[in-house]
A and B are shown apart, each in its own frame.
Chain A
């Protein structure tokens, strides 16, 4: 692994289903982030983690949950998907939370029908 990876690349999901988007980084970055990007809107922060074992809510956290059991992994879970969660999801990481040069994964394109 080099950098930050996400899985799956894309997914079509029925409304009401549970889905976990995976994110793994090998840069030993302390801070990690989940964003969604919708056409015409900027990146919107869903959840973040400043260090392993801690998480925080971003701008649009409703319907999503995260965990940070270790430094490398930061999964995002949709407990019961709804069509408004159709979006492109980006995971990102930065060395720490006080300097925000963020490195992004390739993204997951999620469609909820």
Chain B
């Protein structure tokens, strides 16, 4: 079956760095997405990785290793507004998005 695993919840301190991991087992691979979802709101796009390596976008970076079925989202200089759920999603061989359950990130002052 297809499966995406990510931690349920993480806590970090304002100004610090946090890494959210995602491992996946899917039928085929056509890219990996990270989305941010604030409580009560819709998911919004953060990043897309299709090749191995690190993609940097401001305070957020996303890494992919296709051979290991592994990705992480790195958030630097954490701000209180970064408190949200972070969703990992993989595009399978049929171009369907398979979603993880999300990681709830709690930022403490």
Instruction: With CB as the reference atom, state the residue of chain A lying closest to B43.
Output: A104
Cβ of A90 < 8 Å from any Cβ of B? yes
Q: From residue A48, how far is it (CB to closest CB) to chain B in Å?
A: 8
Q: Please measure, in the bound complex, the distance between the C-alpha atom of A87 and the C-alpha atom of B44, giving whole angstroms.
A: 19
- Interface residue range, chain B: 20 to 34
In the complex, the answer to whether B48 meets A101 with C-beta atoms within 8 Å is: yes
In the complex, the answer to whether B96 meets A45 with C-beta atoms within 8 Å is: yes
Chain B residues with Cβ below 8 Å from A41 are 101
Q: Please measure, in the bound complex, the distance between the C-alpha atom of A30 and the C-alpha atom of B96, giving whole angstroms.
A: 15
B70-109 toward A: CB 8 Å interface, digit per residue (1/0)?
Answer: 0000000000000000010101000111011110000000
Cβ of A60 < 8 Å from any Cβ of B? no
In the complex, the answer to whether A90 meets B97 with C-beta atoms within 8 Å is: no
Interface of A is mostly: loop
Instruction: With CB as the reference atom, state the residue of chain B lying closest to A42.
Output: B99
Chain B residues with Cβ below 8 Å from A75 are none
Q: Known contacts A90-B43, A104-B42, A105-B42: does B102 contact A42 (CB below 8 Å)?
A: yes
Cβ of B33 < 8 Å from any Cβ of A? yes
Contacting residues of chain B (1-15) with chain A, CB-CB under 8 angstroms: 4, 8
Contacting residues of chain B (49-77) with chain A, CB-CB under 8 angstroms: none
A22-55 toward B: CB 8 Å interface, digit per residue (1/0)?
Answer: 0000000000000000001111110010000000
A residues with a Cβ closer than 8 A to B are 40-45, 48, 58, 90, 97-107
